[in-house]
Amino acid sequence: MLRKTRIDNAGIIMLTVFSAMLGLNQALVKLVNAGFSPIFQAGLRSVCAFFIVLSFALIFKKKLSLSDGSLLPGLAIGVLFTAEFFLLFTALDYTTVSRVSLFFYTQPFWVALGAHFLIAGEQLNRNRIMGLLIAISGVALCLFSDAEMASLETLKGDVMCLVAAVSWAMIALMSRTTKISLSTPEMQLLYQLAASGIILTLLAPVLEDPIRNLTPGILAIFSFQVIFVVSIGFIFWFWAISVYPTSDMASFSLLSPVFGVFFGWIIFNDQITIEFVIALLMVIGGIVLSNKKVNSTN
């Protein structure tokens, strides 16, 4: 497939829609938590998406192999993916969609921090250090500016989101530093969906009642997540990174937390304080700085 040197208008529209879907996803998860327990929802979503992604890979003859050295790191990222979504979906029972969007999308600067130690040529420089400090300060501002008003459950959810973001960052780092990089993107996603689907669906009945107040509306929302967000959405993402410059696409990831905050406000009437807005801008600004390319003299 012919790679493009810049993102064209069609790409801008599609990537913006994809970012909006990711931002909306947190709100949809919280809505579906009313019908399924968070752990069961996460597991069932992975099981359903697994078969859709597998069908796509087989139809389009994508390479799927367990013997290319990727099995062990594949299982490892599967466990990390399981932990990520266990924490993220559970957090939405405790905290707001807006706060989840801020804390979960700190993932890029955890990647930048880990890359300093694990990936040659990606050591922290002046810009990256400044960006990390600004982003971490934004997180601290959000955590402590309303600490007296926030309940312990809210703060518990916030911390879960931060740990989920670290798990997501570890997956990204492993995909570049282990033999999982030999696998196609579809195979990497299948490892993650298979592990999380099996572990979470088996774990859910042990920890809590998997079914809460299930309605046709909730089933429709869940189906939308499986088909459009997890399956079509991520297949589109893999296609996009094969066509458009990765550095240009990175900027679109900053739209997801903004959309997440917007949908949290629209759907759940999340309270958006001036401190929260400042914290969000600090995190986004910090991510931009920590991922900005600079001259080698820095």
Place of tokens 């911390």: 159
Q: Residue 191, Cα to own-chain centre: how many angstroms?
A: 16
**DSSP class of 179:** G
Place of tokens 């069908």: 55
Q: Considering the entire predicted model, what is its pTM?
A: 0.89
pLDDT at 97: 95
Task: Inform me whether the pLDDT recorded for 195 exceeds 70.
Answer: yes
pLDDT at 70: 94
pLDDT at 295: 46
- List pLDDT tens digits, range 10-54: 888 998 999 999 999 999 999 999 999 999 999 999 999 999 999
Q: Residue 261, Cα to own-chain centre: how many angstroms?
A: 15
Task: Inform me whether the pLDDT recorded for 246 exceeds 90.
Answer: no
**DSSP class of 36:** B
pLDDT at 250: 66
User: Token digits for 64?
Assistant: 């799927």
Using CA atoms, how far apart are residues 154 and 95, in angstroms rounded to an integer? 4
User: Token digits for 188?
Assistant: 């990497």
Give the CA distances from residue 6 to residues 11, 84, 228, 249, 256, in Å, rounded to whole numbers and listed in that order.
9, 32, 25, 9, 21
Contact partners, residue 149, CB within 8 Å, separation at least 6: none
pLDDT at 66: 94
